[in-house]
Amino acid sequence: MRTTLDGSSARGLAALRRLAAPRPALERCELCAAPTADDHQHLVDPENRRLLCVCDACAILFDHSGVTRYRRAPRDSRQVDALEDAVWNSLGIPIGLAFFFRSSVSNRIVAVYPSPGGPTETTVEEEFPALSTVAPDVEALLINRTRGARDYYVVPIDQCYKLIGIIRRHWTGFSGGDELWEHVGRFFDSLRSDARPERSGGHV
């Protein structure tokens, strides 16, 4: 398997940077303008690679199936089996931290990983089994193999952008710096405590 830069990468990276930008202190629903809670829900706009912050009342008007323009990001995360080293190595990701999601617009698997210049996006040319249970656009396979970790989760896509925001705020130097990886470690500690195990028979 190989990853290659896609022709729409510039557009996708611009969307990533916008999504990871700091949010205002008081957020409002982007559909009805009502105040939103800190732990508010998100809608995904697959066409424009955009997240919308929404209140619970607006969120329940949407589901994950893509019947409408927006899709509601799920709330639950689940732990999945480890990816074989040979499969991971074949992806050519230069750092042990990345997330993968399927874009319904391009019908491709998109991989995003951090770098000194910000989030880097590539497309994965071949399917691999770990993505078989990941819902297009609204979920991602999040993998952390940094510093001896072996974390594999299917998570709501907004959690991945939250992680990108953490990385953007704390990255220093070429490798990120110890402070960054402490924050990343706490992010995965929280994810580990909240995620449910994959049902028996779910393999990657």
Q: Mind listing the pLDDT tens digit for each residue in 162-173? A: 999 999 999 999
pLDDT at 54 over 50: yes
CA atoms within 13 A on the CB side of 42: 24
State the chain's mean pLDDT as an integer.
Answer: 86
Q: What is the model's pLDDT at position 5?
A: 47
pLDDT band at 17 (very low <50, low <70, confident <90, very high): low
Q: What is the model's pLDDT at position 204?
A: 38
